[in-house]
Amino acid sequence: METSFPQSSKKPVSLLVIIIIALAALAGVVGSLYLYESVQTNRQISSLQSTINTLQSEEKSMIQLEDANGTYPGTNYFANSSGSINAVTIYNYANQSVVTVEGLQSTTNSFGQTSTSQVLGSGFVIIYSNSYYIVTNYHVVDGDTGISVTFSNGDAYSATVVGSDPYSDLAVLSTSAPKSEFHPLSIVSSSTLVVGQPVLAIGNPYGLSGSETIGIISQLGRTIQETAAGNYAIANVIQISTPINPGNSGGPLFNTYGQVVGITTAIVSGSQGVGFAIPADTILEELPYLITTGSYNLHPYLGISTADMSYDLAKALGVNVTYGVLVESVVSGGPAAQAGVIAGSGTVTVDGQQYTSGGDIIVSINGTRIVNGDALSSWLQEYALPNQNIELGIIRSGSPMTIQVTLGTRPAA
């Protein structure tokens, strides 16, 4: 007889209990791991926040320390929350770096009588190779004797010209003032400037020391004429609406970061809000030469004189190109003459202005469109050096062609 065993109800219960206990243990492990990871994450977050706070504290200390030493703070410390220029902060930081430059100039009249007059301008402090210098305009110190610089606190010292370049209207001065007087400014590249960008100038118009004015960049790539530069144009100049007057010459032009992007140099007489500044890129390029050799002789030279093309001039010449520059004369033996550039020999009169006709019309350099004389001079200033080969795109007798030219060195002023 088969023996049967009754099924026990305890076995299923025991298995269920074991499963529940196992699940509870697993949950405990997972919970412990989660708690451990959570604690570790919180510790990491706390450590990271502490590091950020320390870095922010160090950054603030660094800015304060750099301000106290008269050096550039670094970040956009001078801009308002809207990004506009903070004139008060920039002035408080930079005015101590701007000086009044004075000298005496002697002139002799047609009767042989000599008179002496005072020349007044502005300048600003820079540091180069651990030495302090003052940058100003060449025309401020040209021919001066008894040059002196006066700091914003009223302390004045004699100064001497270290180096100068009339073609860029730049000069560098040195003075024996104690180190405590010097608060150098930061000069940065002007290549990123755009029309409409706000700028600020500090200088000494009419001897009114420490005057600040605000405006915008009105245009780039202008050319201006200075007597000291002879018949050569000072190229690649910044046009500004920032009000400047006699005495501002040589003062710094600032961007919203409180950095020097130019040096105020000239105005259009009788105008309102039409001023000019030498760009910072020109200063940065020439500064090492002016300080170490006393001059700068790397201005490229084509050896031509030109007139801007226009619609009316194009009609008078019988050509269909209304932009570029008309070559009116070529210097004998100069780079353009040696390359075969042709000057005009006839004359035409347009709106009462007489032009020399028949010469080549330059419309491009190395593929870059040349709209007028400003564009030609600015391209050469920014991109070319003596002995460099360039390709001129020209219109000759109505037909386009190219000419290879090896640039020369501009003769001394």
Every domain of the chain and the residues it spans: 93-108+115-181, 300-409
Query: What b-and-e string marks burial along 314-335, b requiring 16 or more CB atoms within 10 Å of the CB?
Result: beebebeeebbbbbbebbeebb
Whole-angstrom distance, CA of residue 159 vs CA of residue 173: 6
Digit-coded pLDDT (tens) for 238-289: 999 999 999 999 999 999 999 999 999 988 877 788 999 999 999 999 999 9
Residue 2 phi, psi (nearest 5): -75, 130
Digit-coded pLDDT (tens) for 185-239: 999 999 999 999 999 999 999 999 999 999 999 999 999 887 777 778 888 999 9
Q: Look at the domain 93-108+115-181 and name its fold.
A: Thrombin, subunit H (2.40.10)
| Average pLDDT estimate for 402-412 | 94
Q: Is the pLDDT of residue 67 over 50?
A: no
Listed in sequence order, the residues at least 6 apart from 399 whose beta carbon sits closer than 8 Å to its beta carbon are none
Q: Is the pLDDT of residue 181 over 60?
A: yes
Model pLDDT, residue 25: 56
Model pLDDT, residue 268: 83
Model pLDDT, residue 232: 83
Q: Is the pLDDT of residue 322 over 60?
A: yes
Give the residue carrying structure tokens 């109800």: 9
Model pLDDT, residue 408: 97
Model pLDDT, residue 28: 56
Model pLDDT, residue 273: 85
Model pLDDT, residue 66: 36
CATH architecture classification, 300-409? Roll (2.30)
Say which of 122, 218, 249, 377 is annotated catalytic: 249
Structure pTM?
0.76
Question: Cβ(164)–Cβ(295) under 8 Å?
Answer: yes
Confidence of residue 411 (pLDDT cuts 50, 70, 90): confident
Is 332 among the catalytic positions?
A: no
Say which of 142, 144, 165, 169 is annotated catalytic: 169
Q: Is the pLDDT of residue 403 over 70?
A: yes
Q: Is the pLDDT of residue 116 over 60?
A: yes
Is 299 among the catalytic positions?
A: no
Q: How far apart are the first and last CA of the chain?
A: 135
Residue 284, Cβ density class (10 Å: 0-12 exposed, 13-18 middle, ≥19 buried): middle
Model pLDDT, residue 109: 77
The least confident of 41-50, 63-72, 376-385 is: 63-72
Digit-coded pLDDT (tens) for 118-158: 889 999 999 999 999 999 999 999 988 899 999 999 999 99
Model pLDDT, residue 108: 75
Model pLDDT, residue 39: 42
Is 249 among the catalytic positions?
A: yes
